[in-house]
Amino acid sequence: MPRVLAVTLPVQSSSQDTTTWEGWGTSLAWWAHAAGGNEALRQQLCTLLFSKDAARGLGMNIVRYNIGGANPAAAEEYRTGAAVPCLRLPNGSYDWEADAAQVAVLLEAARLGADTFEAFANSPPYFWTVSGSSRGHKQPLRSNLRKQHIQDFAAFCADVLQHFQSVHGIRMQSLSPFNEPASPAWCLQLNSKQEGCYFSKPRSHKVLRALAQQPALQGTQLVAFEQFCCHDTLSDLRRLPQDLWPALHRVNTHTYTSKHFFKHPLKPLLLWQDNTPVWRRLLRRQLQRHGNKPLWVSEFGTGRGPLSLAKQIVKDLSTLRPTAWVHWQAVEGVGTNWGLLEAPLDACSTTAATAAAQAPSVAAAAVADAASPAGGETAAAAALQVLVHPNFFVVQFLMQCLPLGCCYAPLKQLGRFGVIVHPSCKRVVLVYVNASSTKPRTLAVDAGTWLKGTAATAAAAAAAPSDGAVVRQEAGDKQSSNANSGPAANAAAAAAAVSQPVRMHVTLLNLDALQTVQYNAAAGLSSFSSSSTVTEQQAACIGWPVLVEVPAASLCRVELLA
């Protein structure tokens, strides 16, 4: 990529050229099941993720609730929080308190302002599987949901969604019944330590039909396939029967690559399969052929640092044009580097019984802290400390660039490293990530075309009568009226607009300078010093292009206001 990139900002010509943004979010598996029983910790984490107060949290609006399938009485080895208990018992009754910890996080997120909820299942209930475990089949690439229980699984999902609506007032707008169903990892032989279920394509189609035919799910958006990468998602869509396309409201995909997980002699081939740009383009075309189905990036996470996360998000936006982007686990254990936040999940309760017993002790610790001299910190409070990872600041920066309801589009001159955002007709935001860890870049931003289009649009809107207005014009006034409207007047307004100063605000986030910091609940996010990581520049611009210097390993936001 050249050091100087010429960037001509286009006019927002029509809604077909842009994607409307539905928001940002996180799944609750598995951190909510691990941490939700600790009230003090739960409140800190939820405030940081879901609070609409920018001084206290990110303001995420999307929450993905994990419908568990695990047997809480089984002595199976799961990673922390991953044994999400099944709400249904083998005898057909329900234990709605079994997942109290995750539900507590869900309700707290809703209280703080989250309003888009999706339910997803990593595995069917353990007692309907071939292996008797929600960790997968005994052998790889074997469907673990028994054929005779497909209808039962669909009814179970409907029961769970109805319960949340009637008891908690939480309406799950969408349901995703699979999670990476083509993965060979869901196998007891491979000692998988999380829930997962392989589905053959024919069996997954039967599950989708059963869900689509559930009367209780009418009005719930059915989504699929949650595959590991774009290649696998495309493969599923190509083999989806035509009669199921109308039932599928949206496509969810993950955007991992094999380099995130394992080393293998065939790794170059695997990387080509799941990471080459051609699969992203073909996936977009497949969706366009079927009424331009919306797409979510419903899962991604990485332990490779903030630059890797920034590149991935911007690449997903510019190549896939999703309507939402959801982080896998916003909260991880201390030292894992995968989450936006780090918390002592291993020390937390993972069962409803111990969660209930633990909650009073947490409250008592908070009282003791408040009463201690000079604000001294007890051991119990210290154990609840939350760390804010550099990944948090990457997501915070990009959430400010793409607010809920805005429109955005890829920008050809920047390839997969940038997008253009249209918050309003007189405001435009350019988002760019310098993916090089050593070389700075310069953006030569030319806003002339955008300014002409913005001025012409404003002039035409001003000249046009408002809806329902009655326009009366005397013959003698017609000539003077024509002189102040029409193409000639619009062109004159556009030419004048280009010569007017434009306010430009440049914000740079130095990704290499980001560090993990300890969260102080009393001070909120304002306690974090940004002098070494964020640079802001403001200017009034007339001549174009304007040069914007972007250091290596940086996120750049260029905002223009006409």
Tens-digit pLDDT profile for residues 105-136: 999 999 999 999 999 999 999 999 999 999 99
**Mean of pLDDT over the chain:** 86
The answer to whether the CB of 230 falls within 8 A of the CB of 320 is yes
- For the cut 80, the answer to whether the pLDDT of residue 485 exceeds it is no
- CB-count burial class (<10 Å; 0-12, 13-18, 19+) for 287: buried
pLDDT at 498: 57
- In this prediction, residue 488 has a pLDDT band, given cuts at 50, 70 and 90, of low
Same structural domain for residues 439 and 338? no
- With DSSP H G I counted as helix, E B as strand and the rest as coil, what are the percentages for the chain, rounded to 5? 40, 20, 40
List the CATH number of the domain containing 26.
3.20.20.80
Residue 378 within a domain: no
Tens-digit pLDDT profile for residues 354-401: 444 443 333 333 333 333 343 344 445 456 799 999 999 999 999 999
Same structural domain for residues 290 and 420? no
Can you read off the two tokens belonging to residue 510? 């130095």
Residue 477 within a domain: no
pLDDT at 449: 87
- In this prediction, residue 261 has a pLDDT band, given cuts at 50, 70 and 90, of low
pLDDT at 508: 97
The answer to whether the CB of 444 falls within 8 A of the CB of 7 is yes
Residue 501 within a domain: yes
d(CA 147, CA 293): 29
Which strands, in side-by-side order, build the sheet including 502-510?
19-20, 407-410, 418-424, 427-434, 554-561, 502-510, 534-541
The answer to whether the CB of 90 falls within 8 A of the CB of 74 is no
Which of 493 and 330 is assigned the larger pLDDT? 330
The answer to whether the CB of 29 falls within 8 A of the CB of 91 is no
SS3 463: helix
The answer to whether the CB of 144 falls within 8 A of the CB of 131 is yes
Tens-digit pLDDT profile for residues 397-445: 999 999 999 999 999 999 999 999 988 778 999 999 999 999 999 999 9
SS3 250: strand
Strand (E) or helix (H) holding 306: helix 306-320
Same structural domain for residues 192 and 267? yes
pLDDT at 489: 53
Same structural domain for residues 348 and 220? yes
Domain count, the chain: 2
The answer to whether the CB of 450 falls within 8 A of the CB of 560 is yes
Same structural domain for residues 188 and 320? yes
Beta strands in 391-492 (DSSP E): 407-410, 418-424, 427-434, 441-446
Tens-digit pLDDT profile for residues 523-551: 888 777 666 789 999 989 888 999 999 99
Question: Poorest-confidence range of 54-58, 69-73, 200-204, 476-480?
Answer: 476-480
Same structural domain for residues 243 and 312? yes
- For the cut 80, the answer to whether the pLDDT of residue 455 exceeds it is no
d(CA 200, CA 74): 27
d(CA 222, CA 212): 7
Residue 475 within a domain: no
- For the cut 60, the answer to whether the pLDDT of residue 482 exceeds it is no
- Neighbouring C-beta atoms of residue 406, cutoff 10 Å: 17
Same structural domain for residues 451 and 348? no
Q: Classify each residue of 325-344 as buried b or exposed e, where b means 16 or more C-beta atoms within 10 Å of its C-beta.
A: bbbbbbbbbbeebbbbbbbb
Give the chain's count of helices (H) and strands (E): 15, 22
Question: Poorest-confidence range of 67-76, 254-263, 295-304, 367-376?
Answer: 367-376
pLDDT at 468: 38
- Which residues are CB-neighbours of 500 under 8 A, at least 6 positions away? 451, 542, 562
- In this prediction, residue 479 has a pLDDT band, given cuts at 50, 70 and 90, of very low
CA proximity to 340, closest of 104, 557, 517? 517
Report pTM: 0.89
pLDDT at 463: 56
Same structural domain for residues 157 and 303? yes
Q: How many residues belong to the chain?
A: 562
Same structural domain for residues 351 and 449? no
Residue 253 within a domain: yes
pLDDT at 13: 56
Using CA atoms, how far residue 241 sits from 206, 231, 238, 303, in Å, is 11, 18, 8, 37
Residue 160 within a domain: yes
Same structural domain for residues 423 and 302? no
List the CATH number of the domain containing 433.
2.60.40.1180
CA proximity to 437, closest of 550, 338, 335? 550
Residue 30 within a domain: yes
**Structural domain boundaries, residue 169:** 22-38+59-355+387-394
Amino acid at 101: A
The answer to whether the CB of 509 falls within 8 A of the CB of 551 is no
d(CA 310, CA 316): 10
In the listed set 364, 394, 424, which residue is the last one of a domain according to the structure?
394
The pLDDT of 141-158, averaged and rounded, is 99
The pLDDT of 177-198, averaged and rounded, is 96
Same structural domain for residues 422 and 342? no
Amino acid at 244: L
d(CA 274, CA 147): 30
pLDDT at 423: 81
Residue 348 within a domain: yes
Tens-digit pLDDT profile for residues 298-354: 999 999 999 999 999 999 999 999 999 999 999 999 999 999 999 999 887 544 334
Tens-digit pLDDT profile for residues 195-242: 999 999 999 999 999 999 999 999 999 999 999 999 999 999 999 999
Same structural domain for residues 443 and 323? no
CA proximity to 416, closest of 270, 325, 314? 314
d(CA 247, CA 215): 13
d(CA 194, CA 134): 8
SS3 190: helix
